[in-house]
Amino acid sequence: MEDLDTQVLRTALGWQKAGLPVVLVTVARTWGSSPRPPGSLMAINGVGETVGSVSGGCIEDDLILRIRKGGVQTVCSSGLPAVLRYGISADEAHRFGLPCGGTVELVLEPISAQSRLDELLLACEQRRSTERVLDLQTGRVELREGRRDGVPRLDNKQLSTYLGPQARLIVVGAGDISRYLCQMALSLGFEVIVCDPREEYRASWQLNGVLVSHDMPDDLVLRLKPDARTAVVTLTHDPKLDDLALIDALQSNAFYVGAIGSRRNSGQRRDRLRTYFDIAESALQRLHGPAGIYVGSKTPAEIALSIMAEIVAVKNGIRLNASTQITAGKSHREMQGMSKRWSATSEHEATSAEPLPTNQNV
């Protein structure tokens, strides 16, 4: 499954090739609260069909209505990019479903050959980060090598946006947890690859939209060269497979590297990687193990949810508190359990103890 930005670009290009007029809408800037962040994309064709979104729906409805009534020239009158601002007044904010005080500024671009959507899609497929610079006065587009993400920049002459490769998840191990993890990752727009050289595990494992590889994990990681939009998770519990993948993943640019296992096994894994494979302490600090955030998970689906939540948080630049980690969560839970058992034992001893003898003569 493709991420939403890629879907928007691919659909817009398809409409253009089919001869339909198309407008690409980009959220350039926002003030106050806004349903969609800067950089969000939407495309509308000449009959009012849409893909993607730039608000909660009301701005889309307004643009669709205008295009259906008078064509794309109603929003791009000169056939060139136009800038529209919604939600300046309280009445407009209410009308367009924006939170109180919210304002969104959009750039509407009529798609043509000079939009270079085919080249942009190719760059995304090749996992190349790209800066796209749109000249507002001519509609011409320049594509440059850029960072993987960034906030759009808009001035009187041009709009600069950043498009990185699709987020990717490499999972080592074909099992129940990986099945749930892959389903969640697909729904979140990740490209997903499962690696398991064990035929007995791999033979019955399949999921639409997931590439299943029989390569050795370290060979796959070396071949794919994880970039800053890639997460790697090992789930086999077999050091011969998990450790090999981790050695190379920890020395790559992957934004997340995680491994499932108990706290004891995770500690032994770190010792192995440090002692026998000479993995630097700075690299070991990047290893999330046990992988996931603490949610009291008990089932494969809940474990997968815990891991996916941590992956998304790290991808979005969220610094997780130590209390959210599985090691800290389980330790705290055990402490609570010990405290409850101690309290229950003390209460039982107090209520079951024989009464002290009394002096009847007193």
pLDDT in tens, 215-272: 999 999 999 999 999 999 999 999 999 999 999 999 999 999 999 999 999 999 999 9
The tens digit of pLDDT for each residue in 286-332 reads 999 999 999 998 899 999 999 999 999 999 999 888 777 776 666 66
The arithmetic mean of pLDDT across residues 167-175, rounded, is 97
Angle between helices 300-315 and 176-187 (to 10 degrees): 40
Summarize pLDDT for 177-200 with one digit per residue, the tens: 999 999 999 999 999 999 999 999
pLDDT tens digit sequence for 292-305: 999 998 899 999 99
The pLDDT of residue 356: 42
Question: 0.85 cut: is pTM over it?
Answer: no
Residue 360 has pLDDT above 60, yes or no: no
The rounded mean pLDDT for the chain is: 88
> Model confidence over 108-161: pLDDT tens digits?
999 999 999 999 999 988 999 999 999 999 999 999 998 766 789 999 999 999
In this prediction, residue 359 carries a pLDDT of: 42
Query: What is the identity of the amino acid at 355?
Result: P
Q: What pLDDT, on the 0 to 100 scale, is given for residue 62?
A: 92
Contacts with 203 (C-beta within 8 Å, 6 or more apart), sequence order: none
